[in-house]
Chains A and B, each alone.
Chain A
Amino acid sequence: MQLSTSFLAQVTPVEPSPVQAALTQLFPADNFVLLGVILALPLIGAFVNGVFGKRLGREAVTLMALSAVGLSFVASLVAFFMVSSARVGDELVRFQWTAWEWFRLSTAGDFSQTPLNVAFSLDALSAVMILVITGIGSLIHLYSSKYMEEDPGYYRFFTYLNLFIFSMLVLVLGDSLPILFVGWEGVGLCSYLLIGFWFDKSENASAGKKAFITNRIGDFGLLVAMGLLLYFVGALDWSGIESNKEALLAPVKLWPIGNEVPLARILPEDAGKWLNQPRYVSGATLVGLFLFLGCAGKSAQIPLYVWLPDAMAGPTPVSALIHAATMVTAGVYLMCRMAGVFVLSPTAMFVVALVGGFTALFAATIALVQNDIKKVLAYSTVSQLGYMFLGVGVGAFVAGFFHVLTHAFFKACLFLGAGSVIHAMHARIHDTDQSQDMRYMGGLRKFMPVTFLTFAAAWAAIVGFPLTSGFFSKDEILLKANTSFVAGTSVAQGDFTWPAWGHWVLWGLGAAAAILTAFYMTRLFIGIFFGEFRGWTIVRGYQAAVHGHADAGHGGHDDHADEHGHAHEQPGPDMQGPTPHESPWQMTLPLVVLGILSLAGGFLSAHLFHVHPLDDFLGPVFGDAVQRVKLIKGHETRTIPLVAFAVVAFLVGSLVAYWIYLQAKGEPARKLAAQFPRLHSLLIDKWRVDELYEETIIGAVDSLADMCVWFDKWVVDGILARLTTAIISLSGTALRQLQTGRLQTYAAAMVVGLAGVGWFLLTPRAAAHTSADHSSGRYEITAAPGFGYGYRWDSDGDGQWDAEDFGEQRTIAFSLQTEETRTIRLEVRNAFGRTAEREFTFSRPKPDKSGYVAAATGVGAENLKNAHEGVGMKQ
C-alpha cells in the first residue's frame, strides 16, 4: 500500500523539483543519454570480467559485476521516475536516444529508404521492464556471489550474467524491431551459454543447444514478421509502425497460389470450386501470427515450450533470472509492444489467447507428477507464461503485463528458494538429480526458516492466496478472459469474429490450470518443507572424514556429481550427514525482498480495491490498442462470481494436495498412479512430446541432412571439387616444367615476352567502331586511334581508294537508301610501314513494322543508334 501511494504521487503532475529540472536539462527527451548509461554499465561489467576476470580474483569480479548491475538499477530508477514525472494527461511519454546511424533499408512499397538507427527509447512499458531486469538482476547477482562461490568458472558466470542484463536491456529499450532483435538474439546467446555453463556434462550442453535451436524457429517467425512489416508499413521503429499501422489491414491473398489450383480440374465441380475459392487474410493477421511464433519460441509456448524445462540444467540463479523472471517474458513484452498491431487482427489475438490457455493447462498437468523441484518450477513457469499470453491474447495487455511483474517476483523467489534448498542438500548429496529430488527432502522448515518463510510467501502468491500478488494478477487475467474480446475491423477482408463460446473455453482452460497450479505447488511446498527429512540420517557433529568439506564444499551446486567420489552412496536413511543449514545472508536477503514483493506487489493493480497505479501508468502505452478491445454485455455481474471462483480454485487445489501429501502421506497419489499407470507414466514422460518431435521433425531434418551429405559427398566433393582440383593440378604441373631453375630459360622467357609485346605494337590493327541507324539510314565508321597510324578509306564501295595517300581521317559517315548495300574498306598503316585492311558491309533493311513505328513516332530512334554495332561486318 505504501509503495502504491508514493507511486501515485509521482504520477499526478506536480511542480518539478530542482532535481527534476536539472535531470530534465541533463537528459532531454530527444537525447536521453541516460539510457546509454543504463546500457553501458552491464556491458562494461561483462567486458572487464570477460577479459580480465581470470586474473582479477573473486572479490574484484564480484565487485565489478554487482556494481555494474546495481548502478544500472539506480540509473533505471532515475529514468523511471523521470518518465513518471514527465507525464501530463494521457500523452505517451517516450524518451529517445540515438546512439548512431546504422544502415538504411529500401522498402518494397516505395523507393524511399527506411533508416535504421541504433536508437533506444524509454516509455512507461520499458521503464517498468528495466526496473524488473536491473532490480531482480541485482538481487540475483548478489545471490549468485554466494551460490557460485566455489565454482571454477566464477568470472565466466558473471561475465555471461552481465552480458545477459545488457542484452535484455537492449531488447527492452530498443526503439525498433531490429534493435530489439539484437537484444533478442543476445539474450538467447546468453541463455545458451548459461544453460550449458557446465558444459563438461553432455546433457547440459545438449540442453543449451536445444534451447538455442528451438529459439531459432521462433526467431524465424520474428524475422518474417519484420520483413512483412517493412513491406506493409515501411517502418520498423515503434512510432513509425504506430503511425502507419492501418496499412496492415490490406488483404493478402493466401490461396490459391496463382490463379487456380491445378488439381481442381480433375475434382468434382463443387469440390473444385471450394478449392479454388480465394482466401484472404489481413496483413495484420500474418504479421501477428509470425510475431507470435517468435514470442512462442522465446516465451516457451506450445509447440515450442520444450526447451525451457531442459534449460534447468543451468545454475539455479540463472533459472531464476533468465528462465523465470526476465528473458522468457520477452515474448509477452513484445506482444505488449506490438499491441497496436495485434489488435488489428482478431484472428491472431484469438490464436494467442488459445495457445496461451492450452499451454497453461498442459504444462500444469505435467507439473503434477514431477519430483525434481526445478522441473516442477520449470513447468510451472511455462504454465504461468501461458497465463500471460492468455491475458494479452484477450486484449488485457495491462493484466498480462502485470502478471509478468508478479510472476517475476514470486517465481524468482521460488527458484532462489529452491536454489537455497539445493545448496543445503549439497552438504551431503552431490548428485544433481538427487539433490533436486523432493523425495529426499522434507521437514526442511525446521532447518531453514528464512527460506521456508519466503518460499511460503511465493507459494501463496502463485497459488492465488487472496490478496497476494499472484491472486490479483491471475484473477484479473481470468476475469478478462471471461469478459473481453477483440472486435473485428470492418475494413479487413477475411475477418474473423470471436465465437461466443470462446470466452468459456479460454476461461475454462485458465481456471482448470489455476486449480492444478494450487495443487502441484502445494505438493511441492509440502514435499520440501513438511514431514520428516528423508535425505539422510542427521548426525550431530558429523564430520565428512573422507573428503573434508562438510560444510564448505558445495561449490557448483548443480554439477560435479562424480567429482567427490561418493555418488554411489544412495541418499536415504542409510546415509549419514550433518544438519541441513540455512544459507548465508547474500542468499537470504534477495529471498526476503522477493518474498515481500510477492506478497505486496498485487496492490500495483488491485482492481478489486480500485487501486491500480500500474494501469494508470501504462495506460498511454496501450491507449490506442485497447480501443478495439471490447467487453461483453453484462460483464459487471461476472466480477464477483469469478473472484469467488478464484478463491475456490485455490482452496480446492491446495486442500486436496494438503490432504493427499500431508494427511495421507501421499498414499492416495500412489493409489491413483497404480490405478492409471499409463496416464501416470504419460505425465511423468511429459506427454512424450519430446519423443514426438524426435520422431517427426528431427527425424525429417535428419533425413534431409543425410540427403545433403550425400549430395555434398558425391556431387560437390566427388565431381565438382575433384574435377576442379584435377584441372588446377594438371595445369600447374605442366606449367611448372618451365620453371627449370636455369637462368638461360628465364632470360629466354623475358625475351619471348619482349618479343610478344613488340610484335603486338608492331602489328597494325584495323579495329573500328561502327554505328548504324537503319531508320534514318545514317551510318558511321570510326577507326581506332593508333600511334603513328595513317588511314585510307574506300567509302563508296567502288574498289578504289578515295585517296592513295594515308591520311589522318579516322571517321567516315554516309547514308544508304532502303535495301541498299555497301561495302566500305579501311586500310591502316602503322609507324613501321606495315598495313592492315578491313571490310565493312552495311545494308539497310526493308523497314519492318517496328522500324516504321519507331521512326514515325520518334520513339526508340535514339535507342536504335549504336544498337547495331558491327552489323554485317566482315573482315
Chain B
Amino acid sequence: MDTSLMSSPGVMMLFGLSPILALGLGGLLLMLAEAFGRPVVAHALEAQAIGAQPAGPEGQIVDAGAGRAAELALGAAVILFAGAIFSVALWLVGPENVTATERVAPYLLIDRFSVFFSFVVCLGGGIAALLAGGYLPEHRIERGEFFPLLVFCTLGAQALAAAGDLLSLFVALETMSLGVYCLVGLRRTSVRASEAALKYFLLGSFAAALMLFGAALLYGATGRTDLAGIGEAIAGLSGDGLEGRAAQILIALALLIVGLAFKVGAVPFHMWTPDAYEGAPTPTTGFMAVAVKTAAVAVLLRVLLVVFADERLGSWGTGWPPVLATIAVLSMFIANFIAGRQESVKRMLAYSSIAHAGYVFIGVVATSRSVDAQASVLFYLLTYTVSTLGAFGALILAGRYRAEAVSYEDLAGFGRRHPAAALAFSFFLISLAGVPPTAGFFGKLYVFKAAIQGELYWLVVLGLINSVIGAYYYLKVLVFMYMREPKPGAPFATPMRSGYVATALVIAACFVLGLGILPDTALEAAVAAVLGG
C-alpha cells in the first residue's frame, strides 16, 4: 500500500472499518437490488396459470409477490465473504497499526479480538447465505428481504463483538436481534414460524430489558458507559466508595449474565431455542446457532474480562466463575439428555447447540484461571461455526420441497441411496461429536486443556461425560443413515440439487478438515486475538 495512503487517517479509518462498512454498504445495495430488481411473480401465479392448486410447503397459500432469492443469495454471500476477507486483510496489517480507528473508540474497538470475531461471523453468515440460496427457492419461500436482513444481522454481530461501550453494545445487540426475529418468522404463512418468531421476540425483549437495566445500574454506580472505564472504576472502588455501589454492581452483573446467556442460549435461559430453531427456515437456524451465539460469547467475554475483571468479582468463592460453571454444567447435561430423546434431527441440532454453549462456557469459566482459555474459546467458536453450519447444510441438502428431512426416520437408508450427501452429513456430525481428525475434536481438546490448566478437573470430567452422551445422538443419525431402511410406505428423504448448498458444504468441509488436520494457524490466530493479550 502506498505510504501516503497509509498515512492518511481517512483512508486508514476506512480500512480499519472495512469489514463493517462492507456489510453495511453491501446490505444497502442488496436492499436496492431487492426493491428495484425485476420482480418475479413466483410459483403461485405460475401454478395458477397451469391450473394447479396454489399451495405452499404445508398446504397454505403461497406468498404472492415473492422475489427471486438465488441471485440475492449470491450477492449476500459475496458481501459476507468480502467482509471476511477484509477482516483477514485487516488482521494481516494488524489492527494495532491502524491507529485511525481510535476515533470511533470506545464505541467500536477495532482490535484483534473483534477482527477475529468479525471473520468468524462473516464466514458463518456467508455460508448461511449460500445455504439460503438453495433452501429458499427449493421450499418456495423466495423472500428477497432475507438477504439484506442476514447481512445486517451479521453487521450487528460484528459490531457487538467490537462494542466497547454500553450504548453501542446495546445498539449492536438490537441490530442483530431484530433482524434475526424477522428471519425466524420469514415463512409468514406458517403458523409454526410465526409462533417461533413471536416467542423469540418476546423473550428476547425480556432479556434485552434485563440487560438494559443492568447497563443502567452500571452507569449509575460508576458514571461511565465505556466498558474499560467502568472496569477501572470498579477496580478503584474500595472502602467507603464501595459501600452501596457494590450491591448495584453485583445486580448489574447478574442481569448482564442473564441477558447474554439468553442470547447464547444457555440453560436455563434456553427454552426459546428449540422452538425458534425448529420454526425458523433451516438457514436461519444455522445462522442463529453460529453467528448470534458467537457474537454473544464475544461480548460476554469482553464484559466479563473488561468490566468485571476485578479480582473480587472473578473470585472462585463469590464471583461470576461459579455462576457460569453452573450454567455450563446445566447446559451440557440438560441439553444433551433432551437431545437424545428427540425425533426431529433439526430439534436435536438445536439442543446440540445448547450443549455446545455449555462447552464454550467451560472455556469462559477457565479464563479466570488459565491463560490459554480465551484462545481456546475463540478457536472453539470457529470450529463450532463451520461444523454446525455444515450439519445444518447437510440437513438442508437432504430435503426437498414438501419433503424436508426432519426426523431420524426420514433419513433411514439415506446413506445407501445418496452416499455423497450422507458422507457430508456424517462428517459434520462427527466433528460436532468431537472425533479426530475433524475441527470439533481440536476445539474440544483445547477447551478441556485450558480447563485442566486452570485445575478445573471436575468441569473437564463433566464435559467429557457429556461428549460421550453427545456422541450418542450424533451417531444415531449415522445409524439411521447407514444401518436402517425406511419403513415400507414411509416418506424418505431425497436430496435437493443446489449448487449453492453444495458450495456451502464444500467450504464448511474444507474448514472442518483443515482445522482438524492443521489447527496450528487458526490456533495461533486465536492466541493472538485474546483480550489483553
**Which of A747-766 touch B at CB < 8 Å?**
747, 749-750, 752-754, 756-758, 760-762, 764-765
Within the complex, which residue of B199, B310, B313, B338 is in contact with A743, where a contact is CB–CB below 8 Å?
A: B199
- A-chain residues with CB within 8 Å of residue B203 when the two chains form the complex: 743, 746-747, 750
Q: List 16 A-B contacts (CB under 8 A).
A: A735-B334, A735-B337, A736-B338, A743-B199, A743-B202, A746-B271, A753-B267, A757-B258, A787-B310, A787-B312, A787-B315, A787-B319, A789-B318, A808-B239, A831-B243, A831-B244
Within the complex, which residue of B251, B334, B337 is in contact with A758, where a contact is CB–CB below 8 Å?
A: B251
Within the complex, which residue of A784, A788, A831 is in contact with B317, where a contact is CB–CB below 8 Å?
A: A784
- A-chain residues with CB within 8 Å of residue B319 when the two chains form the complex: 786-787
Scan B221-254; emit 1 where CB is below 8 A from any A CB, else 0. Answer: 0000000000000000011001110110111011
A741 to B268: give the CA distance in the assembly, Å: 15
A783 to B242: give the CA distance in the assembly, Å: 19
A761 to B249: give the CA distance in the assembly, Å: 11
B337 and A732 contacting across the interface, CB-CB below 8 Å:
yes
Scan A734-746; emit 1 where CB is below 8 A from any B CB, else 0. Answer: 0110110101011
Least CB distance, A837 to chain B, in whole angstroms: 14
A735 to B342: give the CA distance in the assembly, Å: 12
Least CB distance, A726 to chain B, in whole angstroms: 11
Least CB distance, A409 to chain B, in whole angstroms: 44
Best-buried of A724, A736, A787 by chain B (most CB within 10 Å) = A787
A757 to B214: give the CA distance in the assembly, Å: 13
> Given A732-B340, A739-B338, A743-B202, do A761 and B268 touch, yes or no (CB 8 Å)?
no
| A543 on the B face (CB < 8 A) | no
A725 and B472 contacting across the interface, CB-CB below 8 Å:
yes
Scan B199-223; emit 1 where CB is below 8 A from any A CB, else 0. Answer: 1001100110010000000000000
Count of A-B residue pairs with CB < 8 Å: 127
| B275 on the A face (CB < 8 A) | yes
A754 to B254: give the CA distance in the assembly, Å: 7
A749 to B469: give the CA distance in the assembly, Å: 24
A745 and B271 contacting across the interface, CB-CB below 8 Å:
yes
Within the complex, which residue of A725, A762, A767 is in contact with B316, where a contact is CB–CB below 8 Å?
A: A767
| B341 on the A face (CB < 8 A) | yes
The 7 A-B residue pairs with the shortest CB-CB distance, nearest first, are A788-B246, A732-B341, A784-B317, A767-B317, A831-B246, A786-B318, A746-B271
| B480 on the A face (CB < 8 A) | no
Q: How many residues of A contact B (CB 8 A)?
A: 40
Least CB distance, B517 to chain A, in whole angstroms: 14
A750 and B268 contacting across the interface, CB-CB below 8 Å:
yes
- B-chain residues with CB within 8 Å of residue A732 when the two chains form the complex: 337-341
Least CB distance, B341 to chain A, in whole angstroms: 3
A846 to B184: give the CA distance in the assembly, Å: 71
Scan B180-198; emit 1 where CB is below 8 A from any A CB, else 0. Answer: 0000000000000000000
> Given A757-B258, A787-B250, A788-B247, do A746 and B337 touch, yes or no (CB 8 Å)?
no
Within the complex, which residue of B243, B268, B271, B312 is in contact with A785, where a contact is CB–CB below 8 Å?
A: B312
Shortest Cβ distance from B253 into A: residue: A761
A606 to B380: give the CA distance in the assembly, Å: 69
> Given A750-B269, A758-B254, do A808 and B238 touch, yes or no (CB 8 Å)?
yes
- B-chain residues with CB within 8 Å of residue A745 when the two chains form the complex: 271
| B262 on the A face (CB < 8 A) | yes
| B93 on the A face (CB < 8 A) | no
Least CB distance, A721 to chain B, in whole angstroms: 10
A731 to B332: give the CA distance in the assembly, Å: 13
Best-buried of A725, A752, A758, A761 by chain B (most CB within 10 Å) = A761
B255 and A785 contacting across the interface, CB-CB below 8 Å:
no
A784 and B315 contacting across the interface, CB-CB below 8 Å:
yes
Chain B binding surface SS class: helix
B258 and A750 contacting across the interface, CB-CB below 8 Å:
yes
| A850 on the B face (CB < 8 A) | no
| A729 on the B face (CB < 8 A) | yes
- A-chain residues with CB within 8 Å of residue B243 when the two chains form the complex: 788, 831
**Which of A571-623 touch B at CB < 8 Å?**
none
Shortest Cβ distance from B270 into A: residue: A749
| B274 on the A face (CB < 8 A) | yes
Shortest Cβ distance from A764 into B: residue: B318
| B61 on the A face (CB < 8 A) | no
A832 to B246: give the CA distance in the assembly, Å: 8
| A716 on the B face (CB < 8 A) | no
> Given A752-B268, A767-B316, A832-B247, do A761 and B254 touch, yes or no (CB 8 Å)?
yes
Least CB distance, B237 to chain A, in whole angstroms: 9
Least CB distance, A119 to chain B, in whole angstroms: 22
A749 to B331: give the CA distance in the assembly, Å: 13
> Given A758-B254, A767-B316, A808-B238, do A739 and B274 touch, yes or no (CB 8 Å)?
yes
| B272 on the A face (CB < 8 A) | yes
A749 to B327: give the CA distance in the assembly, Å: 13
A405 to B275: give the CA distance in the assembly, Å: 74
| Given A732-B338, A741-B275, A757-B323, 5 additional A-B pairs, CB 8 A | A728-B340, A738-B271, A750-B206, A767-B316, A785-B315
Scan B292-330; emit 1 where CB is below 8 A from any A CB, else 0. Answer: 000000000000000000111101111100110010000
